[in-house]
Amino acid sequence: MPRARTALAVLALAAVPSGIAASGAGAGAGRSVVLQDIAFSPSRLVVARGTTVTWRWDDGRVQHDVRPRGTPRFEGSARRSTGTHRVTLRRAGTYRYVCSVHPGMDGSVRVR
């Protein structure tokens, strides 16, 4: 049975479109998004319910923020150039967000 599960996990990851990071960890595990080069990296995540997402500023003195767009919503961050912002996403859905400082800097977390 372990081989069958491993094969299924590999197939599931292969089905994730390019540019999207999938979380293979269970609920409660953490995932990170880096704010660097005026971009969120990765810009798209797929995670399990209960996952804590951490946005980490790593763009020198360039200021960014994380602002939710649409529903479901989560608590956004203040504008800054250093530090982290953590949110635990407990509800299924696609959480979209932007940096209000830089047009076109956007991302999303799909929670399953």
What is the share, in percent, of the chain residues with pLDDT greater than 90? 73
Tokens for 22, please give them.
């999938």
- Report the pLDDT averaged over residues 77-105: 97
Distance in angstroms (rounded) separating the CA atoms of residues 7 and 27:
21
DSSP classification of residue 64: B
Averaged pLDDT, 82-110: 97
Confidence of residue 87 (pLDDT cuts 50, 70, 90): very high
Q: What is the pLDDT of residue 29?
A: 61
pLDDT at 21: 44
Query: Phi and psi at residue 13, in whole multiples of 5°?
Result: -70, -35
What predicted TM-score, i.e. pTM, was given to this entire model? 0.75
Report which secondary-structure segment, H or E, holds 44.
strand 44-47
Could you give the dihedral angle defined by the CA atoms of residues 35, 33, 41 and 18, in that order, rounded to the nearest 10 degrees?
Answer: -170
